[in-house]
Structure 1
Amino acid sequence: MPLPDDFVPPKLPDVPATPKDAATVMLVRDAAAHGGGHGIEVFLQRRVAGMAFAGGMTVFPGGGLDQRDMDSTASAVAWYGPDASAWAAWFGCETSLARGLVCAAVRETFEESGVLLAGDADGAIVADSTPYHDAREALISRDLSLAAFLDDAGLVLRADLLRPWASWVTPAEEPRRYDARFFLAALPEGQRADDATSETESSAWHRPADALAEADAGQRPMMPPTRVTLAELAEYDTVASALAARREIPRIEPTIVRDSEGVRVEFSLPRGE
Structure 2
Amino acid sequence: MQQVPAEAPPIPIRPAATVLICRDSADGPEVLMIQRHVLSDVHGGSYVFPGGKVDAADAQLDAAAHLDEPPESLHALLADPDIDPATAAAIHVAAVREVFEECGLLLAEGLDGPGTLQAAALGAQGLAFNDLLGRLGVRLATRAMRPWSRWITPLNALHSPGRRFDTRFFIARAPEGQEPRHDDHEAVLSAWLRPRAALERYWQGEIALAAPQIMSLAHLTRHASVDAMMAEAEGRAPCVVRPLTFEIDGHRATAYPGDALHPERARVMPGPLRLVLRGKRLEPPGGFDDLWQ
TM-score by length of 2: 0.78
Distance in 1 between residues matched to 2:111 and 2:133, nearest whole Å: 13
Aligned length: 246
Distance in 2 between residues matched to 1:127 and 1:162, nearest whole Å: 21
Distance in 2 between residues matched to 1:116 and 1:239, nearest whole Å: 18
Q: What is the aligned partner in structure 2 of residue 187 from structure 1?
A: 174
Runs of 4+ in 1 over 6 A off after TM superposition: none
Indicate the RMSD between aligned Cα atoms, in angstroms. Answer: 2.0
Q: What is the aligned partner in structure 2 of residue 27 from structure 1?
A: 21
Structure 2 residue runs of 5 or longer lacking an equivalent are 1-6, 259-266, 271-293
Percentage identity across aligned positions?
Answer: 30
Distance in 2 between residues matched to 1:168 and 1:127, nearest whole Å: 35
TM-score by length of 1: 0.83
Q: Which residue, 13, 16, 19 being the options, matches 2:10?
A: 16
Deviations 1:212-240 (A, max 9, x none): 11112222211111111111111111111
Q: What is the aligned partner in structure 2 of residue 84 from structure 1?
A: 71
Per-residue deviation, 1:47: 0.7
Q: Which residue, 235, 248, 254 being the options, matches 1:259?
A: 248
Over 3 Å counting, the alpha-carbon distance change for 1:236 and 1:125 in structure 2 is farther
5 Å matches for 1:120-159? 124-127=110-113, 129-138=116-125, 141=126, 143-144=127-128, 146-159=129-142
Deviations 1:84-134 (A, max 9, x none): 223323321321111001111111111111111112xxxx34456222123
Q: What is the aligned partner in structure 1 of residue 100 from structure 2?
A: 110
Distance in 1 between residues matched to 2:242 and 2:112, nearest whole Å: 36
5 Å matches for 1:210-221? 210-221=197-208
Matched to 2:15, the amino acid is: D
Distance in 2 between residues matched to 1:272 and 1:44, nearest whole Å: 21
Give yes or no for the alignment of 1:56 onto 2:45.
Answer: yes
Larger radius of gyration: 2
Distance in 2 between residues matched to 1:126 and 1:256, nearest whole Å: 46
Q: Which has the higher contact order (CA 8 A, sep 6+)?
A: 1
Per-residue deviation, 1:206: 0.5
Q: What is the aligned partner in structure 1 of residue 227 from structure 2?
A: 240
Q: What is the aligned partner in structure 2 of residue 99 from structure 1?
A: 89
5 Å matches for 1:158-177? 158-173=141-156, 174-177=161-164
Distance in 1 between residues matched to 2:33 and 2:185, nearest whole Å: 15
Q: Secondary structure at the match of 1:256?
A: strand
Contact 1:77 1:157 in 2 (8 A): no
Structure 1 residue runs of 5 or longer lacking an equivalent are 1-12, 33-37
Q: Secondary structure at the match of 2:75?
A: helix
